[in-house]
Amino acid sequence: MGGLTEAKLRALAGERSFERGLAYTDEVSGVEFGDGWIRASVRGTERYEVELLLGGRGMPAGMCDCPYGQEGNFCKHLVALGLTVIAQEADLPRLRNAARDRTRGLDAWLTGMSRDDLLALVREEMAEDRNLRKRLELRAASARGDVAGIRSRISELLDSGPFARYGYVEYADVHAYADQAAQAVDAIRSLTASGQAADSMALAREVIGMLAAAVDNVDDSDGRLGEIGAGLADAHHEACRAAGPDPEELARWLVAHALDDAADLTDIGPLDYEDLLGGQGMAALRRYAVEAWQANRTGWAEKHLMQRLAKSGRDIDTVIAVHAADLAPNGHTHLLIARELDAADRTADALEWAERGIRETEDLATVDTALIDHVADRYTRTGRPADAVTLRRDHFAARRTLLAYQQLRAAARAAACWPTEREKALALLRDDAERADPRGGRVLVDILLDDGDIDAAWRVAGEYGAHDGQWRTLADRLRPTRPADALAVYLRLVTRLTRETGNRAYEQLVSLLLGVRDCHRRLGKPDDFTAYITDLRAAQKRKRNLMRLLDDHGLSGS
């Protein structure tokens, strides 16, 4: 059977599921064989239906309706079935032949039954299986073109009540519910194919609403209901194409749907119906969209619909009007407008909107930094380097970060005025630090390090303070020329880390100790390091992982 082995099962399931599957081999029952598949029931917390797919020489695959299996995992129940199959390997040819004989026998028996006997059998099975009855009733209504009957049956199929526990369909039950709900798509398509496209179109819209109402009570983590929603959208489009609906009415429904929560389920795009709407319908579509937007100018769905329609008609002024009706206080919307205008080759208007966004932001520290970048870039590209420096200077004054400093530095160097701008920027941070603002001192350390002014960064760290990461960077940079200063920092950081546990702390500690060793070597005191590491190992000897790491890096004592 496709080279099924314990090794393949272990590789597919993982060690834990494989070991757990060993305990379930006695729970496998009702094994059925087909061409390339084997099915069975496995009793676990509940009875689960399991199917192994065996494809030639490749790895087997499988499906199980247990919660873990429905997440796409090769679960312990599949392992149990696989082990059962392997145990019966010698008997498999006979079992498969027997399965084929049973299938042929069943076909022959059904074929030989009289019409009355076959009807009696179906009625008997329907009485025992409620879901089978629902499926057959839907097929019968579809075959008759009975719209009322189809609507009633679909309503039953979409009723999540029988699958819900405490009013909610949980993940483990979604598969069965979705399989039942998916039959609605086939029924609608059958109605279209039977020449009742107008009824089919109306029914599709009703069913979309029913499914959207059900989604809130279903754990659709795998997107099964989303797939059904997409199927309903396709069925609706097919029905519209066959029915040729009134363009005005179709436009009204498309706008209403686009503004409804059900739009997330179907992803119906109004512009996908452009060929069916024609000129009259598209005009109506835009009219209804404008009315909806004017009634709710800040609504996301209304704005999104207006923007899509305006872009499709290359109506840039309408796009801008939609954005301008709901401007974000940080200038982000101004940036969107500027980008739209740039794309339309209206660069002067674009820059005006972008500059307006900066002016209208109450606090420059909160402005969208992408807007600052956009305007500064436009200044540079249009030969206005001094304006770019002014903008970057103002932004740094409001938002004193390393990134804002780096951007100011780049602009000032391009304008050949960096030394002056640098002194102004550093003076601001020194003022912050002297006012006992710890951020000022730490940002100043980062900036001096970024400038490569290590000695100044060291002085600032000593005067105003720095965090451990900055001290570590300073020590690493100073080690080649000032090993004694670097050593003092390393030893202080090592002392803090020896109080911690965990592999991450141990790795950081070893890295510091390598720096300590190098400092002792540069100072010509290797024996002092040997004594130091010997004492440290003795004090930390209970930390076995740390000892192993020290050994791996040659950090051994006397």
Q: Tell me: do 416 and 514 sit in the same domain.
A: no
203-207 long-range Cβ contacts below 8 angstroms, 24+ apart: 203/147, 203/150, 203/151, 203/154, 204/232, 204/235, 204/236, 204/239, 205/236, 205/253, 205/257, 206/151, 207/154, 207/158, 207/232
Q: What is the pLDDT of residues 241-254, one digit of tens each?
A: 999 999 999 999 99
Q: Cα 315 from chain centroid?
A: 33
- The alpha-helical segments, DSSP class H, found in 88-170 are 92-112, 115-128, 130-144, 147-157
Which of 14-28, 139-153, 441-455 has the lowest average pLDDT? 139-153
Nearest to 237 by CA among 271, 264, 262: 271
Q: What is the pLDDT of residues 431-483, one digit of tens each?
A: 988 887 767 789 999 999 999 999 999 999 999 999 999 999 999 999 999 99
Q: Tell me: do 419 and 505 sit in the same domain.
A: no
Dig out the tokens for 64 from the structure: 């199980």
Q: Tell me: do 543 and 499 sit in the same domain.
A: yes
pLDDT at res. 1: 47
Q: Tell me: do 442 and 491 sit in the same domain.
A: no
| Residues 270/258, Cβ–Cβ less than 8 Å | yes
Computed on alpha carbons and rounded to an integer, the radius of gyration of the chain in Å comes to 36
In a domain, 143, yes or no: no
Q: Read out DSSP for 47-87?
A: EEEEEEE--TTS--EEEE-SHHHHTT---HHHHHHHHHHHH
Domain range enclosing 542: 475-552
In a domain, 156, yes or no: no
Q: Tell me: do 427 and 488 sit in the same domain.
A: no
Among 406, 432, 466, give the residue marking a domain's end.
466
452: left (phi over 0), alpha (psi -120 to 50) or beta: left
| Residues 494/513, Cβ–Cβ less than 8 Å | yes
Q: Tell me: do 492 and 444 sit in the same domain.
A: no
* pLDDT value at 539 more than 60: yes
Q: What is the pLDDT of residues 377-391, one digit of tens each?
A: 999 999 999 999 999
Q: How confident is the model at residue 61 (pLDDT cuts 50, 70, 90)?
A: confident
**Which SS3 state, helix, strand or coil, does residue 405 take?**
helix
pLDDT at res. 57: 57
pLDDT at res. 558: 64
In a domain, 523, yes or no: yes
Q: What is the pLDDT of residues 86-105, one digit of tens each?
A: 888 777 777 777 777 777 88
Among 466, 496, 521, give the residue marking a domain's end.
466
Q: Taking the CB of residue 11, how many other CB atoms lie within 10 A of it? A: 13
Q: Tell me: do 458 and 492 sit in the same domain.
A: no
* pLDDT value at 131 more than 80: no
How many residues are recorded in the chain? 558
pLDDT at res. 105: 83
* pLDDT value at 394 more than 80: yes
Alpha-carbon gap, residue 557 to 334, rounded angstroms: 65
In a domain, 106, yes or no: yes
pLDDT at res. 3: 66
CA atoms within a 13 Å half-sphere pointing along the CA-CB vector of 103: 10
Q: What is the pLDDT of residues 325-357, one digit of tens each?
A: 889 999 999 999 999 999 999 999 999 999 999
Which of 97-101, 175-179, 396-400, 404-408 has the lowest average pLDDT? 97-101
Tokens 């064989």 — which residue?
Answer: 33
Percent of the chain scoring above 70 in pLDDT: 98
* pLDDT value at 132 more than 80: no
- The alpha-helical segments, DSSP class H, found in 259-331 are 263-266, 274-295, 300-312, 316-324
In a domain, 525, yes or no: yes
pLDDT at res. 407: 97
**Which SS3 state, helix, strand or coil, does residue 269 take?**
coil
- Would you state the torsion angle of the CA atoms of residues 173, 174, 177, 182, taken in this order, to the nearest 10 degrees? -160
* pLDDT value at 141 more than 80: no
Q: Which residues pair with 48 in a beta bridge?
A: 42
Domains of the chain: total: 3
Which of 33-42, 88-97, 286-295 has the lowest average pLDDT? 88-97
Q: Tell me: do 108 and 35 sit in the same domain.
A: yes
pLDDT at res. 449: 96
In a domain, 197, yes or no: no
Q: Tell me: do 63 and 101 sit in the same domain.
A: yes
Helix (H) or strand (E) holding 28: strand 28-33
* pLDDT value at 318 more than 80: yes
Averaged pLDDT score across all residues of the chain:
89
Whether the predicted model's global pTM rises above the 0.75 cut? no
Percent of the chain scoring above 90 in pLDDT: 56
Among 92, 112, 132, give the residue marking a domain's end.
112
* pLDDT value at 34 more than 80: no
pLDDT at res. 55: 62
